Amino acid sequence: MNATLDQLCAIVGAGHVLTAPDDQRAYVVDWMKKYHGRALAVVRPGSTAEVAAVLRCCNEAGVAVIPQGGNTGMAGGATPDDSGRQVILSLTRMNKIRDLDPVGNTITVDAGCILAAVQMAANDAGRFFPLSLGAEGSCTIGGNLATNAGGVAVLRYGNARELALGLEVVLADGRIWDGLQALRKDNTGYDLRDLFIGSEGTLGVITAAVLKLHAAPVAQATAMMALPDRDAALALFTRLRGRVGDRLTAFEFMTRNCVDLVLKQVAGASLPFAAVPPAIVLAELSDTDAGTDLPALLEDLLAAAIEAGEATDAVIAQSGEQAKALWRIREGISEAQVRAGKTIKHDIALPIGQLAAFMDECERVVEAACPGLNFLVFGHLGDGNLHYNLQRAPHMDDEAFYALTGSLNALVHDLVHRYRGSISAEHGVGQLRRDELPRYKSGVALQMMLDLKRLFDPGNILNPGKLLQS
């Protein structure tokens, strides 16, 4: 092991090989504080060539490598095991914007670029990079692509996969694949780029990406709507989307319990309604045409929705500050949950039209099996993606609650499977869902994934034990 550490120091410089527990602290625990690991070292390369040399060295020594970006992932994918023999490969020093092409409408960035920095660079050039999520101030493009992140603008612009044109990837044995093409069309066989997107660091290390830019929206309107019940959300979504189409860029849903929790746990959060309604939708409209009066359009739509009984009240933000305050309630849910104590989380995708039926049935099934749990249901309803989280019942202690994790996961996910949904919509599989995957993926699909893993990483050094059982 010492010889490997010496080689790693020679590659990236001793100052970028962190071995002291204090220096490693922020890297060995995940954002939710659910997974705690230990590492031989945290290695911080400064270039693609250094990533390649690190992987070559670790592959030859049989040392496992855990790629890590901003460490904001929600499936434990970036946390090492507790052996103390794995190396964390942190990409955050690789944070350069390599190129911005206003004609091709693309931006080429190092994988360690923080998402917000990419948004900013696009903005400075009069363009728009639409990937947007609560962790955008610290997550990286490499992590976004490795998890195929979603967020709050998928409805209009798609998830990370749909925003990527080309990738540069270092393979397990240190070879570099230069797939940094900015092509909108390329039908020369298997799509290697798409194999790496969503592979959670198990097939290769993404070192750079060419991303699509869009025209910057100049007109925007944000509204929060109080719903009479959660089922009304689908009618409201159908109304808004049917009328404004792609101008509906976000349609975020949250149930009363989530709002109650945010109001209790997040400083400065306040609701624009007199009482907390059974459910809330936060919707955003945007347009690249400054002449469109989106607030007026939204006002018409909301009046019609109230008339039809799909909403009981609505507020349209009158300023950027007010819009931010509305978003604070939505974006505060993750933080509020962490503060309130751990939850059993589910990040599920369902056919949109089945969401109401699913929520009704799932609540009945879970309540019957385990009465008194607190349901924290929120998410990107317009994408069919719910964060279906459960908090312990008041009479339970943490231990008794966690003992139910396996059975509650099975209840929720079996039902998701019956509705032909997915047990991971946007957070990935990591170690959180790894052991459940075989229950829901077909044998054929799982075998193809295992075969690919063996082909790309025969020594099983890349994020072993994540996504697939090793």
Q: State the residues that interact with ligand FAD by CB under 6 A.
A: 31, 66-74, 77-78, 91, 111, 133-135, 139-140, 142-144, 146-147, 149-151, 200-201, 205-206, 334, 426-427, 430, 463, 466
Q: Give whichever of 196 and 411 is closer to ligand FAD, judged by the CB atom.
A: 196
Size of the site for ligand MLT (CB under 6 A): 6
Closest approach, Cβ 198 to ligand FAD, in A, equals: 9
Q: Which run of H or of E encompasses 3?
A: helix 2-12
- Residue 142 binding result from ligand FAD, ligand MLT, none, given CB thresholds of 5 to 8 Å by partner type: ligand FAD
Closest CA to 415 of 367, 467, 470: 367
Answer yes or no whether residue 387 interacts with ligand MLT by CB under 6 A.
yes
Rounded to the nearest 10 degrees, what angle do helices 232-244 and 294-307 cross at?
140
Q: Give whichever of 108 and 385 is closer to ligand MLT, judged by the CB atom.
A: 385
Closest approach, Cβ 134 to ligand MLT, in A, equals: 5
Closest CA to 358 of 246, 275, 234: 234
Tokens describing residue 246: 């792609």
- CB-nearest residue to ligand FAD: 143
Output DSSP code: residue 18. E
Residue 156: other Cβ atoms inside 10 A: 20
- Residue 466 binding result from ligand FAD, ligand MLT, none, given CB thresholds of 5 to 8 Å by partner type: ligand FAD
- Residue 149 binding result from ligand FAD, ligand MLT, none, given CB thresholds of 5 to 8 Å by partner type: ligand FAD
User: CA-CA distance, 39 to 83, in Å (whole number)?
Assistant: 7
Closest approach, Cβ 140 to ligand FAD, in A, equals: 4
Which residue among 71, 90, 144, 334 contacts ligand MLT (CB under 6 A)? 334
User: CA-CA distance, 111 to 48, in Å (whole number)?
Assistant: 10
- Residue 144 binding result from ligand FAD, ligand MLT, none, given CB thresholds of 5 to 8 Å by partner type: ligand FAD
- Residue 387 binding result from ligand FAD, ligand MLT, none, given CB thresholds of 5 to 8 Å by partner type: ligand MLT
User: CA-CA distance, 45 to 461, in Å (whole number)?
Assistant: 17
Tokens describing residue 409: 């996961």
User: CA-CA distance, 433 to 417, in Å (whole number)?
Assistant: 14
Tell me phi and psi for residue 86, to 5 degrees.
Answer: -95, 150
User: CA-CA distance, 64 to 52, in Å (whole number)?
Assistant: 14
Q: Give whichever of 112 and 379 is closer to ligand MLT, judged by the CB atom.
A: 379
- Return residues touching ligand MLT (CB under 6 A): 74, 134, 333-334, 379, 387
